[in-house]
Amino acid sequence: MTARLSRAHNRPSFNAASEVARLKADTRARRRRRRVPSRLDRHTHELLALYDAGATVAELQRWLAARRVRVHQTTVGRWLRRRGCH
């Protein structure tokens, strides 16, 4: 039992508060969302113009498919929603 105590005294002091602060900062850095550009971003102007002209989400999806951009209909809807259109 005394051997354990003597080894503990030889270690540098442990500051739990500073360790927790370091871990929380690391968690915040890991949690930060990195924005990955959407495949639809390069067609923003056209998509918004078509939508404003009355095109539906399904029609926008077909328009994109004609330009070899394969996305699901819900992706187009979410993309529009993020821009406050849908």
b or e along 35-51 (b: 16 or more beta carbons within 10 Å of the residue's beta carbon)? eeeeebeebeeebeebb
Residue 10's pLDDT is 67
φ/ψ region of 8 (left if φ > 0, alpha if ψ in -120 to 50, else beta) reads alpha
pLDDT value of residue 32:
78
Per-residue model confidence (pLDDT) at position 34: 75
Cα 74 to Cα 76: distance, rounded to the nearest angstrom: 5
Q: Are 50 and 63 in contact (CB under 8 A)?
A: yes
- Mean pLDDT, consecutive 10-residue segments, the chain of 86 residues? 55 88 91 84 96 97 96 96 88
- C-alpha to C-alpha distance for 63 and 26, rounded to whole angstroms: 43
